[in-house]
Amino acid sequence: MPDATEAVARRLRRQAAYCLVDGSPLYASLLKAAADDVEAEGPVRQVLAGFEDDPWSSALSLRLMGAVHRLVLDDAAWPVFRQALIDQRERIRSLLPGGCQTNEVGRCAALLGGFLEVAHRTGLPLRILEIGSSAGLNLRWDRYRYESAEGTWGDPYSKVRFQHSYEVPPPLNRSAQVVERKGCDLHPIDATSDEGGLTLRSFIWADQLGRLAQLDGAIEIARSMPLDVEQIDAGAFLERELAEPRHGVSTVVYHSIFMQYVSEPGRQRIKAAIEAADVFHLRMEPGENVIEVRLDDELLGTAGAHGTRVRWNVDSTRA
């Protein structure tokens, strides 16, 4: 078996394992079957031909799932999935080069504690700058509802509600006011358009209806709260926005599961812009074996990749 074929099969099985851990047995099953099909030189192998050298960080497996899900949202069983690869091979291949644009709303449940921490420490309203914003849904985090056994935060009438996100919640008895919000992305999506909404829905794992409901609620909120995501490189965006100090606000630069898509020179440019400014850096990114939520260099908590299983490090908070 050619090395490239083996590598693609391994990547599909690796993603299948992650999907199983993150609560999607359907995607785990389909990706395992897809790996077998690659080794059998079936239609999956033909569809992925030419993408073998894409780095792991480009999420090729999830791009495949998103491309097919976009076409078969109503029925993702393996026979239909496989037949779609045969019947719609060229169309699926045309969708694969696009980035993995999840704009996972659930990550707000993990980021919330960081925003509240900054507001609590400084007593100032927040100016928030998100890099890798996709459709900008997570720029509207303060319009959502967060609930735990120990307290609640946010709009009680919100269309987006997080009711099962916390194993150990952050302190929710804190207030925060956002007075300015901006975001950037190299390929921003208009969530309020039919095309943009379809793209975002296609990247939701098909058997995770709770995530889909949260996304639909966030899109509805976006329609009532217009916000443009600027099409610009993250480093250039930060250099411009952080060029002059801002008084009377706490500026928070943040991102979630974003840095894996950025080149090393791009990462260094982002880092330099942040370090040169008086800002807070909030991030939700992979650590050693878990997704970490950090404020500057401080580990605030951990979470699942979609913002579930949030465990706040209570020792890191300041009374």
Q: Kindly report, residue by residue over 122-136, the tens digit of the pLDDT.
A: 999 999 999 999 999
Domain extent listing, the chain: 3-95, 105-316
pTM of the model: 0.74
Q: Are 160 and 286 in contact (CB under 8 A)?
A: no
- Which of 27-31, 44-48, 98-102 has the weakest average pLDDT? 98-102
- Position 316 pLDDT exceeds 60: no
Q: Would you put residue 188 in left (φ > 0), alpha (ψ -120 to 50) or beta? A: beta
Q: Kindly report, residue by residue over 238-282, the tens digit of the pLDDT.
A: 999 999 999 999 999 999 999 999 999 999 999 999 999 999 999
Q: Are 182 and 241 in contact (CB under 8 A)?
A: yes
pLDDT at 99: 73
Distance (Å, rounded) from C-alpha 246 to C-alpha 243? 9
